[in-house]
Structure 1
Amino acid sequence: MGAFLLAMAASAAVSTCSGVAEPIIDVHLHSYEHDRRFTLQIPNPGSGGPMIVENGSQHASATVAALRAAGVVRGVVGGHSRATDDRMIALDPDRLRGGFEIDAVPTPEMLAEIRARRAAGKLTMIGEVEYQYEGVRHDDPRLEPLWTLAEELQVPIAVHSGAGPAGIVYMGSPLHRERFGDPAAFEEVLVRHPKMKLIIMHAGWPFLDDTLALMHAYPQVYVDLGAVDWAEPAPGFDHYLQTLMTYGFGKRILFGSDQMVWPDATAQAIARFRAAPYLSAEQRRDIFFNNAVRLFGWTDLPACAGPG
């Protein structure tokens, strides 16, 4: 059995890494069934390009195709249901891994499902966790069982932190408050849970100073720049990323696209990092690949590793 599993791992590494000059790991992907943006055919907010899918099934197929074309050798899908995540993962199980989306204070049943999926090998990350849209702060005591479980299972937990979409309070999330996304509110959580692996999604944008302070004090904190790296203006992205690099956090920045309903967003985000003149090739490789391999403890991508 051990030899069989090693062979399968080697096969997966070859199939996803073959012909990829610059391997990329995207830790911030979403799946859907129904979404009003499909119905309204909302253009891509970063490029202005048209919506290219009409439903969740099309979105899954187009996302997988976009990842392959962009050289993404591994992606973590934490969408709006386990069923839609599993559907997308089934399209390319060598490439994709499962997250666990949580959009409010988790119930005991959800915590039990996290534990069960982890035991079954179907859970790589808890996230995206986005209780902020329901008016919940990072330091809300009702979240304590979630932090405890993430620390116990040693599964990275990726939490939406920072701003929501412009006008979100008027678009179905009346309890959302920008201030609830300030990463500073994680501090007491991290004090209580020193072994919890935390990914701050969107790097806490636009709370840059508090993100820097938290990363300085707590070395178990990582960030991604999902959505900031393609939907926000390029100068703002560059200011944010370059500041994180200036303060020495290049080993704890992950690549995440947060492609949402626009499969083409992943390639847009990748292009932003490649165009950043302040990143060396080694630093970009850390962000695109090495940092995620180290955080998740992946050993099944040897064909991608190469130098560095």
Structure 2
Amino acid sequence: MKQKGSVMPKILSISIIDFHLHFPVSHDVYLDGWEKRFVDRFGKAKLQKIYHNQQTLSERWRDAYLIPCTEEDLPDIETQAKRWVGETNKYRIDKAVFLTGGGNDQLAKIVKLAPDVFVGFAHHDPFSPGAAEELERAIVKLGLRGYKILAPTVEKRLDDPELDPLWKIAEKYQLPVLIHFGILGGGGGIGNAINMSPLVIHDIAKGFPDISFIIPHFGCGYTRELLQLAWACPNIYIDTTGTNDWIRWMPYPVTIRDLFRVFTETVGPQRIIFGTDSNHFPRGFTYPVFQTQWQACRDIGLDDSSMCAIFHDNAARLLKNVRA
């Protein structure tokens, strides 16, 4: 056991790694490009209307999952960092991997507030000028340990040869690259884009086999496509993150247990990585997400070795392999 007073299940004497967190900030940069393109074409008023509608739908979602509202006035990053350190102690979280946090420079500062437990990923637009150089700077100079891309917000296809210099940097440092595919932003969010299906990186994953590509939320509505991609490319990993509310929008019944079963029976537990998508307070670490996923794994009969792999060891291995 890592800490006394832990509320985690005592089935295994291990800590966990949450591979999918977002550090709470008042404004994050990863939607800036998509927002600018939308405003340029349709106007700012329509963007504001979209976000207003999303807020209404988000309130219904929070009510359904008993999730408290985000704080209106966020404390400074030092206060937020202390809160997250408290969460890691309370829930025996060995590493807290923040995929976003207000830009690469700010997230690097956040990681330095608790370097023994915090891990940060670069999260700039892959098509921004000098993106490859920025990725190398983020790893070598800033100490970040991976790269996060929100595929539906990216303007061009991710298999465009223009991105080859970026992938070469990721390959050089053997970075874990986490790419969100599928629907984005909850109800009223992005439902269609040029990079919705994970199969768009099929050739990239084959061309850069030393990059570990992690696809979160079990493919977020693109389960079949993710299974095809994982069948074709052994460097594809599956991230279990979040409530996976998208399953309610499938044309056939799907449960969290079903998802764990099909992926453990195909790609195997050595390529599955646990995450929660936790971010803001007062919610903090979303323990109910952990409970649901842990129980699903037990329900399908996973042994202790498989549980260790999913909830800790696979993530630890990917982070250890980073050459920086």
TM category (shorter chain) comes to: 0.7 to 0.9
Structure 2 counterpart of 1:183, which letter? Answer: P
Task: Give distance in 2, aligned partners of 1:89 and 1:56.
Answer: 17
Q: Say which of 203, 212, 228 aligns to 1:188.
A: 203
When the two structures are superposed, what TM-score results if normalisation uses the length of structure 1? 0.76
Task: Give distance in 1, aligned partners of 2:295 and 2:142.
Answer: 37
Residue in structure 2 matched with residue 155 of structure 1 by the alignment: 175
Contact 2:105 2:142 in 1 (8 A): no
> Does structure 1 residue 98 correspond to structure 2 residue 120?
yes
> Does structure 1 residue 202 correspond to structure 2 residue 221?
no
Residue in structure 2 matched with residue 51 of structure 1 by the alignment: 69
* Cα offset, 1:241, TM superposition: 1.9
Task: Give distance in 1, aligned partners of 2:223 and 2:172.
Answer: 29
Structure 1 residues 197 and 153: alpha-carbon distance in aligned structure 2, compared to 1, 3 A threshold: same
Contact 2:3 2:90 in 1 (8 A): no
Residue in structure 2 matched with residue 302 of structure 1 by the alignment: none
> Does structure 1 residue 290 correspond to structure 2 residue 313?
yes
* Cα offset, 1:253, TM superposition: 0.5
Contact 1:229 1:257 in 2 (8 A): no
* Cα offset, 1:32, TM superposition: 3.5
Task: Give distance in 2, aligned partners of 1:134 and 1:119.
Answer: 25
Contact 1:78 1:101 in 2 (8 A): yes
Contact 2:183 2:189 in 1 (8 A): no
* Cα offset, 1:229, TM superposition: 4.9
> Does structure 1 residue 33 correspond to structure 2 residue 25?
yes
> Does structure 1 residue 246 correspond to structure 2 residue 265?
yes
Structure 1 counterpart of 2:303, which letter? Answer: S
Contact 2:21 2:278 in 1 (8 A): yes
Task: Give distance in 1, aligned partners of 2:222 and 2:244.
Answer: 16
Contact 1:46 1:232 in 2 (8 A): no
> Does structure 1 residue 264 correspond to structure 2 residue 284?
yes
Contact 1:23 1:72 in 2 (8 A): yes
Structure 1 residues 153 and 256: alpha-carbon distance in aligned structure 2, compared to 1, 3 A threshold: same
Structure 2 counterpart of 1:207, which letter? Answer: Y
Structure 2's unaligned 5+ residue stretches are 7-12, 28-50
Task: Give distance in 2, aligned partners of 1:111 and 1:256.
Answer: 27
* Cα offset, 1:70, TM superposition: 1.6
Structure 1's unaligned 5+ residue stretches are 1-15, 170-175, 300-308
Residue in structure 2 matched with residue 120 of structure 1 by the alignment: 141
Residue in structure 2 matched with residue 222 of structure 1 by the alignment: 237
* Cα offset, 1:198, TM superposition: 1.1
Task: Give distance in 1, aligned partners of 2:161 and 2:64.
Answer: 36
Task: Give distance in 1, aligned partners of 2:312 and 2:245.
Answer: 19
Structure 1 residues 70 and 298: alpha-carbon distance in aligned structure 2, compared to 1, 3 A threshold: farther
Structure 1 residues 106 and 268: alpha-carbon distance in aligned structure 2, compared to 1, 3 A threshold: farther
Structure 1 residues 265 and 283: alpha-carbon distance in aligned structure 2, compared to 1, 3 A threshold: same
* Cα offset, 1:256, TM superposition: 1.6
* Cα offset, 1:100, TM superposition: 0.8
Contact 1:64 1:88 in 2 (8 A): no
Q: Say which of 269, 281, 287 aligns to 2:304.
A: 281
* Cα offset, 1:255, TM superposition: 1.0
| 3-state SS in 2 of match to 1:285 | helix
Structure 1 residues 155 and 134: alpha-carbon distance in aligned structure 2, compared to 1, 3 A threshold: closer
Structure 2 counterpart of 1:283, which letter? Answer: S
| 3-state SS in 2 of match to 1:73 | strand
Contact 1:221 1:252 in 2 (8 A): yes
Q: Percent of aligned pairs with the same residue? A: 21
Structure 1 residues 222 and 270: alpha-carbon distance in aligned structure 2, compared to 1, 3 A threshold: same
**Structure 1 residues 247-256 or 46-55, which shifts more?**
46-55
